[in-house]
Amino acid sequence: MPNIQLARNLKYLRLAYGLTQDDLGAFLNISRQAYSNYENLKRSPDLDSLIRLASLYHLSLDDLVSRELSSFMESDHSVQIQEDKNFFRLGVDRATENRIYLTKEETEFISKFRTLAPEDRQIALGFIDSRSKKV
């Protein structure tokens, strides 16, 4: 049974974030048409897709699926849509063959890291290790 509120929320959020159906199809690794079917009540996203969409929009699954977000987000000033678009790029971990999703910033970081000399890579990794232990 199609979830009308979910379909409305998906369209509302996509437009509020300035995304296209192509953007979200790429994010979910599906076609634009497949994503369009979610907004047009022809298909429902699987659980993995719902989790990824909720994470993208910084929402709980419950809010994404059942809350009327257009009025909720406009009336609740503590919830604000981020200005920046966090597009994720699909990558594959060569060791495990698991999919990983990287932000543009992470992709740029990896590209720059790969250009470093081996000794500079060690320095960068040492810095990251020292900073990440403080979290």
Identify which of 69, 85, 99, 90 has the alpha carbon closest to the alpha carbon of residue 7: 69
pLDDT > 50? residue 92: yes
The answer, yes or no, to whether residue 77 has pLDDT greater than 50, is no
- For helices 32-39 and 4-16, what crossing angle results, to 10°? 120
Instruction: Domains for the chain: give ranges and CATH numbers.
Output: 4-75 (1.10.260.40), 93-132 (no CATH)
Q: What does the alpha-carbon distance between residue 71 and residue 8 come to, in Å, rounded to a whole number?
A: 12
Of 109, 118, 1, 16, residue with least CA distance to 58: 16
Tens-digit pLDDT profile for residues 115-124? 999 999 999 9
Output 85 or 59, whichever has higher pLDDT: 59
Q: DSSP secondary structure string, 25-91? A: HHHHTS-HHHHHHHHTTS----HHHHHHHHHHTT--HHHHHHS-HHHHHHH-TT----SS---EEEE
Q: For residue 82, is pLDDT > 50?
A: no
| Token pair of 50 as six digits | 């719902």
Closest by Cα among 19, 6, 36 to 83: 19
Rounded CA separation 58/42 (Å): 25
